Structure 1
């Protein structure tokens, strides 16, 4: 029968306002007994985890270094504990520093636990911990810093800890909807657009179902950043603004989703073949098309309720684009005699502006 035991580690509790962090040392070889790498994944209901996949070449390099003489890893790993882990303070002198409390971390270990059942997750140090695990050494003590929190706060801390590193934008976009607490302004602004994008990519009645590329939807072919830009503009300056509370950044998600799915279903119905093509073969699913049609949505539906978006008026307006569209072949004939090959349009601010102006002229004709 597998062992169940308690691991007790000397630790220092550091109080930061109403938060607590714990500094301690642990044999890196034992880290995986109680700590898991929470890799990002999605099931039918929601997003789980937050870590990026292991970088094998990086791990091999660290492992070779650890197996050499004089190896040292001075940077602390960052872990998140769940509520099963407790801190027991030691007796203190009356004149002890209030924000620094010595004591002991008590970590329950069950060798039957799966990765998802372990009481700790690695927030930062995935490659280092994997290298220690695989290295041909008996032990390698490492410094660690931990906090006790739920998964939403863990995701926020993961983004903040990695904010100075080249964290993949797609991973950040997937994590943002499930975060809590304060984030940098640029991330705060994109939290609601990222939530809407996630819903568009996963809701069964969405025309974008599984079409948006992301770490958990690798077969998607529409760039997530293009959809985010479209949503962000509409939320702050366009048709979706009416559903948003500018005071706290929240919004009526149900009405927003109905508004979005209604309009983009019209686009899909008008251009069914083009909607199924990858961006290299079609400019509708390209960044320039997604953003330009987002501006068309804002112009045609601004002030309309979500229930009124799918109307004969809006359908007729989008239909007026069809005879003049060069999404996947031919030429675009812009005003003042300018002509561009269908695939000459790029995802640049100038080309988005040119195509938007052209499409708005068509829908308003």
Structure 2
């Protein structure tokens, strides 16, 4: 199946059918499963030293790959799930000669697709869907096992990411990875994904902006940092709740008919409140959640409820950080983030867990404290 071009460049030649979608050639063909990784890269999601996001694929799951390999090695099996590839324009298609059969719908054409084989390590295709299957096929005993492949022509990373998300959104896939990829794409998504994009943008800004007190402190799929202590899903959930609640501090800035969402204004509210939290509770800030319940998912969630109350009463044009700091300083003597006991709750500081009951209880206590001390003077 492999033969050189006239130029001497090695190629993988397969019989294929070609059609067009969105002005892009799309091919369907079969090839030996073990050959997929010979022509296609797995583009792992990661960030470089500048914080720019690269790739889109999650880490390989060894247990999943091994389970597929065991399935393939158990004997004759049907394995019809297609691998989806993005392929470079350097792949060449030659249409077969001859008359079309009677009744042909003329939506595709048959021919031979020649895919360049790598000679310098650079491959001309990228796996969009099916990385675990491709890894398993490369390890299976039957190296010639034929698998279906659908390939679309595109070298644009944004297109690869778009198709990756659309293919995987209905399948078991870590939502944290989808949430992290969403801000990188400027395409129209189904409504459920569109609603997740702005919270994902805000979490990215909180992690990457020099103005943010959370810079470098958020745990994300693409980063492996010992300094990260706050889980991204906790902030995403809190931000989404604030945007969607009628009383949320971020709700006034969400999109309305004819008006786009004001992400910058949302970011200013978040930075103002959480910078104040860092200023007022310096001993609790940036520590692992085992040492500080302020950094714990329960603390972040409960403080986010308090943020909605505090920041919603900020007057237009006020210094948001100072406004939040004054409110938090009034309740600070009664908070127990790293030691002691919440007497009104009858709970030690480290007894608070990330369960709905505890989050509601802690949020309620913070709101009661704010209500009781809202108009007292800060010393």
Q: When the two structures are superposed, what TM-score results if normalisation uses the length of structure 1? A: 0.84
| Equivalent residue, structure 2, for 1:234 | 242
1:348 deviates by: 3.2
User: Measured at CA, do residues 124 and 212 of structure 1 come closer, stay the same or move farther in structure 2, by a change above 3 Å?
Assistant: same
Question: Number of aligned pairs?
Answer: 357
User: Measured at CA, do residues 316 and 69 of structure 1 come closer, stay the same or move farther in structure 2, by a change above 3 Å?
Assistant: closer
Determine which of 348, 353, 357 is the counterpart of 1:346.
353
Determine which of 166, 172, 193 is the counterpart of 1:160.
166
| Equivalent residue, structure 1, for 2:29 | 24
| Equivalent residue, structure 2, for 1:129 | 134
User: Measured at CA, do residues 311 and 328 of structure 1 come closer, stay the same or move farther in structure 2, by a change above 3 Å?
Assistant: closer
| Equivalent residue, structure 2, for 1:49 | 55
Q: Is the 8 A contact 1:239 1:301 kept in 2?
A: yes
1:97 counterpart = 2:105: yes
Rounded to whole Å, the distance in 1 between the matches of 2:368 and 2:70 is: 62
In the alignment, structure 1 segments of 5+ residues that lack a partner are none
Q: How does 1:115-126 map to 2 (within 5 A)?
A: 118-126=123-131
Secondary structure (helix, strand or coil) at the match of 2:283 reads helix
| Equivalent residue, structure 2, for 1:358 | 365
Secondary structure (helix, strand or coil) at the match of 2:293 reads coil
User: Measured at CA, do residues 236 and 110 of structure 1 come closer, stay the same or move farther in structure 2, by a change above 3 Å?
Assistant: same
Q: Is the 8 A contact 1:33 1:111 kept in 2?
A: no
Rounded to whole Å, the distance in 2 between the matches of 1:167 and 1:243 is: 30
1:186 deviates by: 3.4
1:194 counterpart = 2:194: no
| Equivalent residue, structure 2, for 1:215 | 221
Rounded to whole Å, the distance in 2 between the matches of 1:47 and 1:311 is: 30
Secondary structure (helix, strand or coil) at the match of 1:165 reads coil
The alignment yields a C-alpha RMSD, in angstroms, of: 3.1
Secondary structure (helix, strand or coil) at the match of 1:233 reads helix
1:143 deviates by: 0.9
Rounded to whole Å, the distance in 1 between the matches of 2:11 and 2:67 is: 33
Rounded to whole Å, the distance in 1 between the matches of 2:217 and 2:319 is: 22
User: Measured at CA, do residues 38 and 77 of structure 1 come closer, stay the same or move farther in structure 2, by a change above 3 Å?
Assistant: same
User: Measured at CA, do residues 243 and 108 of structure 1 come closer, stay the same or move farther in structure 2, by a change above 3 Å?
Assistant: farther
1:287 counterpart = 2:287: no
Rounded to whole Å, the distance in 1 between the matches of 2:271 and 2:328 is: 15
